Structure 1
Amino acid sequence: MPVDLSVSEVRDELQRAAGKEAIGSGQSATRLLGQMFHEVFADLCGKDPLRSGIRVVVDAAPDRDAGQQRLLSHTYHALVGPRLTRHQPLLQETTRQVLVFWEAIQHLTRWLTDLVWTALDATKEGLQTWEEIAALFTVDEKLTRELRQPDWSDSVRLVGITDALIRIPRTSRFCTIELKLGAGRPLMDLAQVALYRLLAAGQVPSSADSALALLHFAPTLAETLITATEVATVEPRLLALLGKMAGVATPPKAPSAATRPEPRKEPKAEPLPATRGNRTPAKPEPRKTAKNPAANVEVLRRSPARSVPEAAFTSAAMPATQSASHPPKNRPLGAAPPAVEPTPSPPREDPRKEAVATTPAGGSTSAAAPTSATAPLVTSTSATAPPASASAPAASERYAELGQKLVRAFREYGSPVDLLGEPAVGPRFLRFEARLGRGVTFDQIARRTKEIGLKAGIPKDPIISRYEGHLRIEVERPDPQTVPFASILPALGERDPLRGSALVPIGVDVAGTLRTADLASPINAHLLVAGTTGSGKTEWLRMAIAGLLHANTPETLRLVLIDPKLAAFTDLKRSPYLWTKRGLWTPGSGSDVDEVLDDLSAEMERRYQLFEAEGVDDLARYIEKTRKPLARIVCFCDEYFALISQDRQIRKRIEAQIFLLGAKARASGIHLVIATQQPSRQVIQGALNANMPCRVGLMTQSAIESRMLLDVPGAERLTGYGDLLYKDVGDPVRLQAPYLSPEERARLFKPS
């Protein structure tokens, strides 16, 4: 069976190998603005007459200048303005990036006007309507190609989505368009061109005579047209990289003793430079290589050097340990390679009774041993993996049988689907990808989720969504696993005694990678957490706190804990991490909770006065300039609804302070993590909804609550025990929260 690789995985590997040298010098833009830019482009080139920019330009003919002006006005009022208004809370601290975004939009409208007029001039005898010109554009085209090489043990299926394909009128040629919001990455552009040419060559006619255009829209428009001939020398090295990533390349045979070259004397390595905050660099894991890696390097050296970054291809193409994002052929897609064989827990019991080690997000099962007072608080227990369990094939057969049950259930209800490969295996769910049968619509599938779940014998209704042109069907795993908290510690990094860490662990994705929220980012500055009883909400809060404690000292982190239930944070009541003024609030502590928030607001203003005196505008720059730590303050509230449901006047004061802190506190290093059991309209609307775009949705009671929290249903179908949906930019991502055992919690939270 072919091994699937996505273009994004290959691009990430090239970027990792190329390092900082591959990064261009353009202005940065947030992920949200990049997503908005691509959405606006798709609307302008699409076939919806109310959104189409092509229609606006054609309707203005023969006045070209008027067409460009009308297009700019249409783009702002119909497409850009509504998006900026909808995402205003996320963008209120990114003024510079928004200006770069708007400059790029202006370049885009001029470019599209020129392109439409070029099409009109070239086809005066043919294309006359805007619909005919719009038909030349195919936006978000999914391309798939199966690649084979003589030295591969299996084929590789490369999958990617190009921003647009433009057909050249009256010919079979085409141009592939890739958009970049920002300046180029010169060392990476040609590699990406070769990647898309490999894709298109197997699917689009006459691709060998076609071209790819790279359009960088900020700070100035830079359009680069690259022909097939220019990338021909890159493709052999790119194919070598794909084979290594997929695990199908056959290692070269070691030379015999008679032909083995003399070993080359390596130069003495220079000492590593000190890392940020004068931390000692972590000792790298030994790198697994093929028997003769020098042969691969020599092949690359013989290739022309003008086309692609030598360092990127040399490093990336070397045989290395399999990464979690590039699954080899002999395991389910998306499943991380286990470092310690997981032991299945009973399907319907709480699997947290016994923590089971899974693949750590950092790629290692052990952390560095503590060497100083600022060493990590907890280390993993083992770095040695026992032999693989004989139950693995049986589990794969069980998953395949479940997939066939789903196929039969869909067919019985008149909505046939075809599964695409093996399922991705997450800690608590299986993800099947499928293609709709002929004549079947997504709405038909979505309406049948309850019946499909019952027919297939699944305890919880499946979660069905669209993804890259096909279906994703997520069902509860029959043998759920626990992700131990210790397994994520390598991904959280070491302590920085000056700057600390603003990373909050959220959960582990289906590839075994830890997802974190960076509190220093405007999008992730404050978190809203919701989940019903049994969803794991309080355990998630404790896990998030433990992650912050692991990567900080009391000089870089302080906690404010609000515990209306008197049960969530009792282990921390004597912690040195508590804020000295008001560290732990509980009912009956002698003050109202709004006074705690008042104190945080006063601290925020005091910090801004410090920043003004130093001529800086945020916590990071203040620390860099003064070289003195100033603790980040994170306020955790376990049950928000209990605070606002008693007294109307207290609720008004609480909401006023939350609105103020949510709008202003990020730059001062003060953050809110607020949790509630009831994400209803009465609770979320107002201060929380306006200032907390980063959401963690554990299992909810209804689809309505899921929509209130995440803007989409699905959280009501989660399985509990830390199974969650995480949303910051774009669609929610399903993750599994690591489990912090009582023993680990006692060790981490104990007074020093």
Structure 2
Amino acid sequence: MPRSINVSQIRQAIYEASGIRGDGAPSTAVLGQWFHDGLGRLIGDSAAPGILATLADVDADLEIWKRTLAAESYARIVGPRLTREQAALRDAAPQVLAFWQASRAASDWLAELCWALRSERTSPRFASAAPWKTLGDWMTTEEPLACELQEPGWSDSVRLIGVADAVVRLAGTGMWCAVELKLGQTSPEADLGQACLYHLLLTKMQEASGAVADAGTLALISFGPERQERVFSAHELATARRRLVDLIGKLAGVDQAQTAPHAGLSRPTSFPPVTRNRPAELSPSAEHLELGRGLIRTFAEYGVSVTLDQPVIVGPTFIRFPITLGRGTKVNAVMRSAAELQMRLQLKEEPFISRDNGQLVVDVQRPDPQTVYFAEIRDDLPRPDPRLGGSHIPVGVNLFRQLVCVDLNRTDHAHLLVAGTTGSGKSEWLRLALAGLLVTNTPETLRLLVIDPKRNAFHALRESPYLWRPLVFPDEQSAGEVLAGLAEEMDRRYRIADGADSFAQLAGRSAEPLPRIVCVCDEYRDLISRSRPERKLIEEQICRLGAKARAAGIHLILATQEPSRDTIKGPLDANMPARVGLKMGKAVESRMLLNDGGAEKLLGHGDLLFKDVGKPVRLQAPLLTEAERVEIFESR
């Protein structure tokens, strides 16, 4: 059975080994995703014209075209998103400015492409369509790619998977070009390596189809925020391609040679072993593949034409089947088929059907689910700052068992809102979050304020030296007064801040040790249901802390069983963009928390959706065993 590995894993290995960082303007991950989404909406395709089609309504002048696309891009893509997510991005002004400048440079680039096509209208290839229509037909964005590699000396073949930013295919010529688009630069070597991987994928797919394989080129276009372009021929990429194939064999664990990997693209580098990806877990079994064939047969029974021609991905608790729509098949027809799939295939839970990177995927519960334990991901937590301690909280592992964390230093991760029904694993997730902080901190760098209405969720911490004050039981003391005391500590820290705008600066200027304070509150709904004065006091303090506490090194993690409009309202919603949604009872609760449905279809027991500013991502929370809890909570 072929091993599976994706382009992102390989890029990360190159990035970690290179030690090189780009000097482009910084950007957050979500702004990068917005940038790529915006390009897709600008271009469109043959079925759905993009914003480029607005050029039909203006004069044929290149500068007018550029101004038109820039205005439409801001009015229809950039502006609404910045307005909707302004709370999460309020401290990221330089990144937002660089994002808009890069978006404008990208719209100028597309306008120039259309102008170049217009100037060749005498060619038969362009005579029958407007230039923006031709570009939409020839250029696809977010295109899923997959190929199988087998090299001498490998113990098994490797399935390489990726999603190309853009692919241009010139109709009737056999020529094509892989286009990799970058918002800024994180590592020039890793950026080029990632682009070469997409060229490799397309070349292999061309060879498999019997088409011309050596006509392809590669364009690496970065917007940092000014546009920079590099174009490579297939011949120029030959050396990099050989090194990439060697690296793929090493990372997938199939290369039996004992020599060090030849990973460098511009210079030799050495790569650390990539144990956290655990490639052996990614190969689907015969039972998993038969389940996929059953999905396709069931869709066909109900008149929905789909194919399963992309690699199946096996996660710890569910299997992801990427599906391709047949001709004339509508997305809604697939989305409405979940109940029929469950009945016909006798599944315990209804399949989770969603969009992922421009493709429809069907997530089905594994017949042989696996538990991911905290001990497995403990070493994957980022190393703590020697002076400030650890700021990362483990959220869960993705389909490739890679750990996803929130970073309390980030504006959009400074506070967390968690929701899930009984049995979803909400309290277990809170204990996981605390464990992740405790193992990367000391009492000098971290203090906890724990509010426990149930009186049993955090009992093991009752004697912990990490407590900022003793465990808070709201039936014995006012949670509102406790939060008011935390807000007073925030104000005290600001008084000694001397203009510091981050916790790192504040700690550096303080004459006394300033540990990070994390306030964890289980059953937030219970707190605000006690009395009207208590609710008012709690909400006032939550509003103050949510808006100002990050730079003072104070953070909130609030959990509730009922993510209703009455619970998640106004300031709470605006100041806590990072959300962890475990299984919920109703779709409306999922939409209230995540601005998207789906949490009502999760499997429970740590199956979750994580959202910061982008679309929710499905993860599996590692389990903190009782023994681990005692070792971490009681021995520190």
After TM superposition, the score normalised by the length of structure 2 is 0.90
Q: Deviations over 1:293-347 (max 9, x none)?
A: 17x66xx8xxxxxx923323xx24xxx866343625xx5438xxxxxxxxxxxxx
Task: Write the letter of the residue equivalent to 1:94.
Answer: A
Q: In structure 1, which of residues 606, 609, 613 is the aligned counterpart of residue 492 of structure 2?
A: 606
Q: Which residue of 2 aligns with 1:9?
A: 9
Task: Write the letter of the residue equivalent to 1:585.
Answer: V
Cα offset for 1:487? Answer: 3.0
Q: Distance in 2 between matches of 1:221 and 1:207?
A: 29
Q: Sequence identity of aligned pairs in percent?
A: 44
Q: Which residue of 1 aligns with 2:110?
A: 112
Q: Distance in 2 between matches of 1:669 and 1:559?
A: 12
Q: Which residue of 2 aligns with 1:222?
A: 228
Q: Distance in 2 between matches of 1:460 and 1:170?
A: 47
1:458 aligns with 2:347: yes
Question: SS of the counterpart of 1:533?
Answer: coil
1:655-694 superposed matches below 5 A: 655-694=539-578
The answer to whether the 8 Å contact 1:462/1:475 transfers is yes
Q: Distance in 1 between matches of 2:168 and 2:177?
A: 5
Q: Which residue of 2 aligns with 1:449?
A: 338
Q: Distance in 2 between matches of 1:654 and 1:50?
A: 49
1:234 aligns with 2:234: no
Q: Which residue of 1 aligns with 2:479?
A: 593
Task: Write the letter of the residue equivalent to 1:655.
Answer: E
The answer to whether the 8 Å contact 2:15/2:187 transfers is no
Question: SS of the counterpart of 2:116?
Answer: helix
Cα offset for 1:646? Answer: 3.4
Larger Cα Rg: Structure 1 or Structure 2? 1
Q: Distance in 1 between matches of 2:615 and 2:525?
A: 26
Question: SS of the counterpart of 1:630?
Answer: coil
1:633-652 superposed matches below 5 A: 633-652=517-536
Question: SS of the counterpart of 1:680?
Answer: coil
Cα offset for 1:49? Answer: 11
The answer to whether the 8 Å contact 2:319/2:363 transfers is yes
Cα offset for 1:644? Answer: 1.7
Q: Deviations over 1:516-563 (max 9, x none)?
A: 211111121111111111112112212211221222111111111122
Q: Which residue of 2 aligns with 1:738?
A: 622
Question: SS of the counterpart of 1:616?
Answer: coil
Runs (5+) with no aligned partner, structure 1: 252-289, 301-306, 335-395
Task: Write the letter of the residue equivalent to 1:465.
Answer: S
Task: Write the letter of the residue equivalent to 2:67.
Answer: Q
Q: In structure 2, which of residues 269, 277, 284 is the aligned counterpart of residue 325 of structure 1?
A: 277
Q: Distance in 1 between matches of 2:391 and 2:610?
A: 18
C-alpha spacing 1:142/1:420, structure 2 compared with 1 (3 Å): closer
Comparing 681-690 with 178-187, greater Cα deviation is found at 178-187
Q: In structure 2, which of residues 78, 81, 98 is the aligned counterpart of residue 80 of structure 1?
A: 78
C-alpha spacing 1:429/1:193, structure 2 compared with 1 (3 Å): closer
Question: SS of the counterpart of 2:566?
Answer: helix
Cα offset for 1:133? Answer: 4.1
Q: Distance in 1 between matches of 2:172 and 2:59?
A: 22
The answer to whether the 8 Å contact 1:430/1:477 transfers is yes
Question: SS of the counterpart of 2:214?
Answer: helix
Cα offset for 1:702? Answer: 1.5
1:549 aligns with 2:438: yes
Q: Deviations over 1:560-589 (max 9, x none)?
A: 112222232333233221214xx4322343
- Computed over aligned residues only, the root mean square deviation of the Cα atoms, in angstroms, reads 3.0
C-alpha spacing 1:66/1:438, structure 2 compared with 1 (3 Å): closer
The answer to whether the 8 Å contact 1:188/1:309 transfers is no
1:519-530 superposed matches below 5 A: 519-530=408-419
The answer to whether the 8 Å contact 2:453/2:475 transfers is no
Q: Distance in 2 between matches of 1:50 and 1:717?
A: 30
The answer to whether the 8 Å contact 1:51/1:79 transfers is no
The answer to whether the 8 Å contact 2:353/2:360 transfers is yes
1:488 aligns with 2:438: no
Q: Distance in 1 between matches of 2:10 and 2:559?
A: 38
1:233-312 superposed matches below 5 A: 233-251=239-257, 290=258, 293=259, 308-312=265-269
Q: Deviations over 1:46-69 (max 9, x none)?
A: 249998342334533333222222
Q: Deviations over 1:695-746 (max 9, x none)?
A: 1111111122122222232222222222222222433233222323334333
Q: Distance in 1 between matches of 2:225 and 2:348?
A: 52
The answer to whether the 8 Å contact 1:27/1:219 transfers is yes
Q: In structure 2, which of residues 437, 449, 453 is the aligned counterpart of residue 564 of structure 1?
A: 453
1:318-717 superposed matches below 5 A: 323-325=275-277, 327-328=279-280, 332-333=282-283, 396-415=285-304, 417-419=306-308, 424-437=313-326, 439-468=328-357, 470-492=359-381, 498-580=387-469, 583-590=470-477, 592-612=478-498, 615-624=499-508, 629-717=513-601
C-alpha spacing 1:502/1:471, structure 2 compared with 1 (3 Å): same
Q: Which residue of 2 aligns with 1:96?
A: 94
After TM superposition, the score normalised by the length of structure 1 is 0.77
Cα offset for 1:98? Answer: 0.8
Q: Which residue of 1 aligns with 2:184?
A: 182
Q: In structure 1, which of residues 121, 145, 148 is the aligned counterpart of residue 147 of structure 2?
A: 145
C-alpha spacing 1:228/1:472, structure 2 compared with 1 (3 Å): same
Question: SS of the counterpart of 1:534?
Answer: coil
Question: SS of the counterpart of 1:464?
Answer: strand
Task: Write the letter of the residue equivalent to 2:584.
Answer: T
C-alpha spacing 1:750/1:160, structure 2 compared with 1 (3 Å): closer
The answer to whether the 8 Å contact 1:571/1:746 transfers is yes
Q: Distance in 1 between matches of 2:24 and 2:432?
A: 37
Cα offset for 1:169? Answer: 7.6
Q: Deviations over 1:591-639 (max 9, x none)?
A: x322222222222122122221xx5321112334569641111111101
